[in-house]
């Protein structure tokens, strides 16, 4: 029986040089680990059918469903600052696009579904650990309210993949507003293919920026839209202590979603120089560098779009520079606006940025845990129910508690100028300061249990906790705790 999936594949209707048509490689013995039933329903899909044997075969790439047009997209990219003119989907295959119940068009992609013409001698497969990491972290980011790709399903393949050791194989079904990247534009720009560049830009305008398509200068409006989305996205990463780990231009989504969760991680002890990725030896993609790198990537996009911005190259460069120039102001507005909310401030006043920066500086100097500090501030609001015990709970996170005391004096004075009562302020702060993030040591415990013992209980437990990150969950309180040593020395790997 054919599994009904309502595909409408706009990217597959673009010229052949945009992709390679390739079917997934069948696997031996697929087994469903997790189906995201709420997301399936949102996409207009039948969860029961996807959990049935025929549906699992689709999610594992054993069967291509009716209406799918599987392809591997072509793109280029700067990887750690070095340009590679052809990368492409080396272990991911786009099955097609569906329009969900909300009217939004989204890609359905199988990640780890076998080699493609872009695999560059790779096997095109994925190991179980990275698949579970991306499922868990992308769904956590969604629950935190941060734009992201989503995980529809994870399946084991019954096969082994060889990395540094032999590991169980798996496939992730990833859902995205699109998989078009900065590197997709670079692919055509590097070839001098202005016609392809224009076709891609028109596709993006129709798909992501229909209002910009009607602008007087639609391609500049397209660039401005991407700049705005990325400025807001990176600000929101910083608000929760997220470190992407590999912000290459081929990992920056035009749609403004967090994409590719290979070596990502979350801050424990606050230090803006933190870089967890084992391949980021010089801290290029460290937590505090992420805004600068986002702008660097956007500059590469602006360069690629120059031929579309004006007939004269100098005029095109000027247009590109003006469009990318909006990033700094948009980022600062989003970043400090979010910090203001995390501190319980609903009005904007001079000195707010300095107040927030002074707290972060004190946290860095005193090894304070990022997430716990902001969460405990919710109860330490003057007049809130937490009282002196809540204040001591925050102070105890600082090596020198008096550093917090000195900062809190200014915070209290600032709160005195705010409207509303303490209880309402505390509730508002809890809505933006999560109690639970994917603590790195818990994620590693989950992966070890699944890979070494085929025990998916820790995965399910973390998923339950992290999909309600702003709620107090007393029975899971230990999952909010920081690791010993503040997480220093932790390393992540790209998982390819």
Q: Is the pLDDT of residue 486 over 90?
A: no
Q: Is the pLDDT of residue 274 over 70?
A: yes
Which 3-state string (H, E, C) describes 191-214? CCCHHHHHHHHHHHHHHHCHHHHC
Q: Is the pLDDT of residue 41 over 90?
A: yes
- Strands (DSSP E) contained in 287-345 are none
Structure-token match 């401005």, residue found: 224
Helix (H) or strand (E) holding 411: helix 401-415
Q: pLDDT tens digits, residue range 161-207?
A: 998 899 999 999 999 999 999 999 999 999 999 999 999 999 999 99
Could you give the CA distance from residue 266 to residue 486 in angstroms, rounded to a whole number?
A: 11
Residue % of the chain over a pLDDT of 90 = 93
| Alpha-carbon Rg for the chain in angstroms | 23
Q: Is the pLDDT of residue 496 over 70?
A: no
Token pair listed for 227: 């700049």
Residue 335's Cβ-count burial label (10 Å; 0-12, 13-18, 19+) is buried
CB atoms within 10 A of CB 349: 12
Catalytic pick from 107, 250, 260, 268?
Answer: 250
Better-predicted residue by pLDDT, 385 or 1: 385
Token pair listed for 293: 């790198």
Helical residues (DSSP H) of 346-386, grouped into ranges: 352-365, 370-377
**Helix 387-395 crosses helix 370-377 at what angle (to 10 degrees)?**
160
**Helix 313-324 crosses helix 218-240 at what angle (to 10 degrees)?**
30
**Helix 401-415 crosses helix 352-365 at what angle (to 10 degrees)?**
170
Asked if 97 and 106 count as a contact pair (C-beta separation under 8 A), the reply is: yes
Task: Answer yes or no: 250 catalytic.
Answer: yes
Could you give the CA distance from residue 428 to residue 78 in angstroms, rounded to a whole number?
A: 40
pLDDT at residue 1, as a whole number = 41
Q: pLDDT tens digits, residue range 334-390?
A: 999 999 999 999 999 999 999 999 999 999 999 999 999 999 999 999 998 888 999
Q: Which long-range contacts (CB under 8 A, 24 or more apart) does 193-197 make?
A: 193/17, 194/307, 194/308, 196/15, 196/17, 196/18, 197/304, 197/305, 197/307, 197/308
DSSP 8-state secondary structure symbol assigned to residue 364: H
Q: What share of the chain is helix, strand, coil (3-state, %, to 5)?
A: 45, 15, 40
Q: pLDDT tens digits, residue range 420-463?
A: 899 999 999 999 999 999 999 999 999 999 999 999 999 999 99
Token pair listed for 150: 């989503």
DSSP 8-state secondary structure symbol assigned to residue 417: T
Residue % of the chain over a pLDDT of 70 = 99
C-alpha 78 chain-centroid distance: 19
Q: pLDDT tens digits, residue range 279-322?
A: 888 899 999 999 999 999 999 999 999 999 999 999 999 999 99
Could you give the CA distance from residue 466 to residue 458 in angstroms, rounded to a whole number?
A: 12
Q: Is the pLDDT of residue 495 over 80?
A: no
Q: pLDDT tens digits, residue range 221-268?
A: 999 999 999 999 999 999 999 999 999 999 999 999 999 999 999 999
Better-predicted residue by pLDDT, 124 or 495: 124
pLDDT at residue 484, as a whole number = 87
Q: What does pLDDT average to over the chain?
A: 96
């Amino acid at each position: 029986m054919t599994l009904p999936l309502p595909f409408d594949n706009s990217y597959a209707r673009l010229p052949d040089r945009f992709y390679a048509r390739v079917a997934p490689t069948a696997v031996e013995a697929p087994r469903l680990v997790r189906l995201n039933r709420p997301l399936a329903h949102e996409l207009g899909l039948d969860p029961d059918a996807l959990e049935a044997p025929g549906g699992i075969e689709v999610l594992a790439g054993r069967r291509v469903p009716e209406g799918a047009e599987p392809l591997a997209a072509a793109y280029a990219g700067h990887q750690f600052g070095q340009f590679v003119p052809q990368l492409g989907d080396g272990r991911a295959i786009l099955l097609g696009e569906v329009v969900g119940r909300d009217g939004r068009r989204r890609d359905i992609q199988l990640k780890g579904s076998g080699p493609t013409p872009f695999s560059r001698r790779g096997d095109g497969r994925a190991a179980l650990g990275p698949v579970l990491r991306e499922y868990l972290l992308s769904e956590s980011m969604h629950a935190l309210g941060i734009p992201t790709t989503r995980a529809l399903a994870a399946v084991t393949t019954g096969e082994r993949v060889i990395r540094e050791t032999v590991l169980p194989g798996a496939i992730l079904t990833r859902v995205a507003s699109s998989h078009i990247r900065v590197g997709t534009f670079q692919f055509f720009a590097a070839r001098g293919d202005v016609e392809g560049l224009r076709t891609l830009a028109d596709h993006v305008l129709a798909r992501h920026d229909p209002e910009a398509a009607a602008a007087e200068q639609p391609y500049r409006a397209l660039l401005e839209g991407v700049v705005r989305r990325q400025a807001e996205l990176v600000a929101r990463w910083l608000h929760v202590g997220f470190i992407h780990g590999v912000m290459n231009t081929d990992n920056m989504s035009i749609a403004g979603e967090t994409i590719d969760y290979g070596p990502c991680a979350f801050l424990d002890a606050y230090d803006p120089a933190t870089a967890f990725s084992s391949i980021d030896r010089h801290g290029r993609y460290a937590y505090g560098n992420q805004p600068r790198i986002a702008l660097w990537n956007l500059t590469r996009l602006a360069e690629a779009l120059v031929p579309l911005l004006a007939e004269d190259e100098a005029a095109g460069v000027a247009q590109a520079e003006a469009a990318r120039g909006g990033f700094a102001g948009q980022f600062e507005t989003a970043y400090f606006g979010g910090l203001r909310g995390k501190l319980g401030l609903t009005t904007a006043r001079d000195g707010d940025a300095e107040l927030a920066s002074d707290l972060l500086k004190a946290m860095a100097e005193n090894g304070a845990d990022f997430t716990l500090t902001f969460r405990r501030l919710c109860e330490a609001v003057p007049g809130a129910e937490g009282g002196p015990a809540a204040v001591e709970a925050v102070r105890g996170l600082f090596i020198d508690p008096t550093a917090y005391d000195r900062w809190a004096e200014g915070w209290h004075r600032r709160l005195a100028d705010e409207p509303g009562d303490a209880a309402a302020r505390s509730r508002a702060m809890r809505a933006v300061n999560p109690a639970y993030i994917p603590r790195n040591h818990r994620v590693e415990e989950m992966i070890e249990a699944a890979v070494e013992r085929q025990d998916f209980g820790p995965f399910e437990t973390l998923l339950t906790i992290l999909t309600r990150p702003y709620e107090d969950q007393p029975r899971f309180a230990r999952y909010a705790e920081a690791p010993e040593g503040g997480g220093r020395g932790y390393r992540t790997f790209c998982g390819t």
